[in-house]
Structure 1
Amino acid sequence: MEAIVADLDAQRSRLHVAIQNWEHDFNIGSVVRTANAFNVAAVHILGRRRWNRRGAMVTDRYLHVYHHSDVPSFLHWLDEHGVTPVGVDNLPGSVPLETVQLPQDCCLVFGSEGPGLTDEVVKGCEQLVAITQYGSTRSMNAGAAAAIAMYAWTTQWCPKPRTS
């Protein structure tokens, strides 16, 4: 496993993702699994240390997963590492994801299922983006939103696949 992680480390993107875990959110496993698919630099979990690893399908073993007990320690970590926090939520003031250039060194931050991003996290984000939705629902599952946002970052910053 160490050899696989070393190989992944040599190719990791500069994207970080974070998800709030104030209420033992079951979406975390899904977010972690998707983060592995995009080979992100790291996953950050804010709040409770315990999370449902079942949905991650063991992919967390191949990622760098950091736990932050509170928002200030998370924001301090990002600042020390030159990573810009970008909140993903459909809040007032959010701009459509498809209209922005995301920072190359950024951390896409997702809220807990239901309440979304806390005010404290929103205040710490350099930018807020929202995923444009066309149906009758006001929001989508945090795992689905994370996949869409990671894909958007990837289309802006990762090499395009070669076609034959």
Structure 2
Amino acid sequence: MSEPSPEPTPEWTTHGLGPHPRPWPDDPRLDPELLEHGDTRNVLDRYRYWSMAAIVADLDERRHPFHVAIENWQHDMNIGSIVRSANAFLAAEVHIVGRRRWNKRGAMVTDRYQHVRHHESVDDLIAFARAHDLPIVAVDNVPGSVPVDAAPLPHACILLFGQEGPGLSEAALAAADQVIEIRQYGSTRSINASAAAAVVMHEWVRVHAAGAEHPESHGA
């Protein structure tokens, strides 16, 4: 007689936390459903059992003043990954320029915690930038662009990225207050759009937030 199949291992034993033992903490930030059933989300330990609204509110108190904008004329598959990086580097907002719909798979649900705004056109993005006194920093390796590490990024700004392949549109480049590029040394003309976005966002963090403490430095 064969042995019975073992019970499946609960997901929380390998990722996240299981149901919270009672009595539950008296904290309005905590979600009763998560306390009851466990929290397997991809969030920092300090946010375990917090509701999504509580996490967003906490992030809003610490967001950096740089914004990220991406042109979306051809349903670029990189947009989701860029949103994920924007969440990791705590961008103020992500702006989708062009088509409203975008592939969210690469975001790995981080768009739930990251403010995302849509603009029908580059002109709409420009209007937003001017209304909020945000210089537009275009990222593309075109003639006249300056290496990002040789031209410190503005503190409050919009980092504008194009699509994989064609790069930024002429209208976007014309609207830019500054055009930067990433130094490259190999044979390829350009690097992946989501990788480029992560490099530039990290450069902003290196320049403007290098001394900022990670929220879990002391297990807060």
Q: Same fold (TM over 0.5)?
A: yes
2:160 corresponds to:
109
**Structure label with greater radius of gyration:** 2
1:68 corresponds to:
119
Give the number of the structure whose residues are more often strand, by fraction: 1
**Quick one: distance in 2 between partners of 1:137 and 1:36?**
28
- Confirm or deny that 1:83 pairs with 2:134: yes
RMSD: 1.1
The Cα of 1:82 is off from its aligned counterpart by 1.4
- Confirm or deny that 1:128 pairs with 2:179: yes
2:194 corresponds to:
143
The Cα of 1:161 is off from its aligned counterpart by 5.3
- Confirm or deny that 1:14 pairs with 2:65: yes
SS of the equivalent of 1:16 reads strand
2:203 corresponds to:
152
2:151 corresponds to:
100
Q: Which amino acid aligns with 1:57?
A: M
The Cα of 1:160 is off from its aligned counterpart by 2.0
1:55 corresponds to:
106
SS of the equivalent of 1:11 reads coil
CA deviations on 1:47-70 (whole Å, 9 max, x unpaired) are 000000010000011111010010
Q: Which amino acid aligns with 1:160?
A: G
**Quick one: distance in 1 between partners of 2:175 and 2:106?**
28
1:30 corresponds to:
81
Q: Which amino acid aligns with 1:12?
A: R
TM-score, structure 1 length as denominator?
0.97
SS of the equivalent of 2:188 reads coil
TM-score, structure 2 length as denominator?
0.72
- Which has the bigger relative contact order, CA under 8 A and spacing at least 6? 1
Name the count of aligned residue pairs.
163
SS of the equivalent of 1:113 reads coil
**Quick one: distance in 2 between partners of 1:150 and 1:32?**
11
Identity %, equivalent residues: 55
The Cα of 1:158 is off from its aligned counterpart by 0.7
Structure 1 alignment gaps of length 5 or more: none
Structure 2 alignment gaps of length 5 or more: 1-51
